[in-house]
Amino acid sequence: MSAVALFPAIDLRDGHCVRLLRGDYGQETVYGDDPVSQALAFQAAGAPWVHVVDLDAARSGDPVNRPFVAAIAAALDIPVQAGGGIRSIDAAAELFAAGVRRVVLGTAAVERPGLVGEVASLGAVAVGLDVRGREVAVHGWTESSGLLLGPALRQFEGLGAEALVVTQIEQDGTLEGPDIGMYREALEATGLDVVASGGVGTPGHLDDLAALDVDGRRLAGVIVGRALYEGNVDVADAIGRLSGRGGTP
């Protein structure tokens, strides 16, 4: 059984490591002011990736946290996946030049799907689909796109993306459990790799995601944020559970 990759999350606002509750910028918890040290700690614990989001840029388009993203990529020996406010090929090129392994296009991909192929000519691309219920949201989760998840998933096949990062906004930051049904629908709807995000709060939630199987296809990865910062989930234990080896004793 192939391993489901763990993506510890670092969400940035004003250079701080934060988490939002259900995408609400007014419900923010700050977990630290040294994102590079946090990324190095995830690496030291065995994480195979680090997932970084510039929340300021996601909402405004202004990449105020890009120096921090670049510093994280420069400090790590493991690959970095970065998103938030990447709305042009030039912005993606800057991140690739800074050492980011894979960029995540969200709003820009939904509004201009052709950008995916343009950026894919430079490096690895994932499309981020942030979903409230089953409707895709844009501009830092603040606006509805009118596009439903199923058609969105099918729309991005063949455009150059190597993965889809699917976030259930209603679960994100709640620790109440992931939307398993939505991820099953995603695996049924697309042949692209699917990375799940939103709601993991316990080791058992990771077991549920690791067990998800649709005609032999499993999730490619799981993004975990608040559960790691709160101590509900341990990086090494999470890796074991997602790999099929079970949790650490």
Q: Are 148 and 110 in contact (CB under 8 A)?
A: no
Residue type, 19: R
Q: Whole-angstrom Cα distance, residue 230 to residue 31?
A: 9
Q: Are 11 and 72 in contact (CB under 8 A)?
A: no
Residue type, 23: G
Please identify every residue annotated as catalytic: 11, 130
Relative to beta strand 163-168, strand 193-197 is: parallel
Comparing CA positions, the residue from 163, 162, 180 lying closest to residue 171 is 180
Reported as half-sphere exposure (CB side, CA atoms, 13 A), residue 145 has a value of 25
Q: Are 101 and 79 in contact (CB under 8 A)?
A: yes
Comparing CA positions, the residue from 234, 246, 242, 235 lying closest to residue 46 is 235
16 token code pair: 């701080």
The dihedral over CA atoms of 147, 149, 150, 152, expressed in degrees to the nearest 10, equals: 60
- DSSP structure class, residue 64: T
Strand partners, 165: 128, 195
